Amino acid sequence: MAVPALSQSGEQTDPTTGDAASALSKAADTGEQVHIEGLDDEFSTTFANPDGTLTTRISEGQQRVADSDGTYSAVDLALKRSTSGWVPKNSPVHIRISGGGSRTAATMTQADGSKNGVGWPSKLPAPTIRGGVATFRVAAAERLVVSTTATGFTAHVVLTKRSAR
């Protein structure tokens, strides 16, 4: 039994109109699943199946970000340079990673304007950036590693040498 497709707002959609109808037709013709972009939202992707049913895959984490025109683009947590440090290329949350010179390593700004962050007791050096990870060399054998996630960031201290006993 096929489950009716629901839009992001929870309204039942009509698979016989628009993108869904053409996708169902194409799936029947090709014998393969066809992606229906018009039914995507931040957490789910819907496909038309060759047997005339729809399959919706729902992700635990946000996979796409709504653009101003109502379309969706993939989450991309790789960091890019900004005027205030480093920011993810396309993230559902507002994160800023320090470019160095301050004691704040990372800040996440909530929708209400409140901020959460992680700092260090002394001014941070410029980080090394690799994808969505910023690594601050805070001491000869210590690294502060900040990683972007779809819900914010994580921060870890990594010791690169065993302590002398």
Domain ranges for the chain: 1-73, 75-159
pTM: 0.74
Instruction: Report whether pLDDT(118) > 70.
Output: yes
Residue 17 has pLDDT above 60, yes or no: no
Task: Work out the average pLDDT over 72-95.
Answer: 94
Q: What is the DSSP letter of 163?
A: P
Full 3-state SS string of 34-102:
EECHHHCCCCEEEEECCCCCEEEEECCCCCEEECCCCCEEECEEEEEEECCEEEEEECCCEEEECCCCC
β-bridge partners, 80? 87
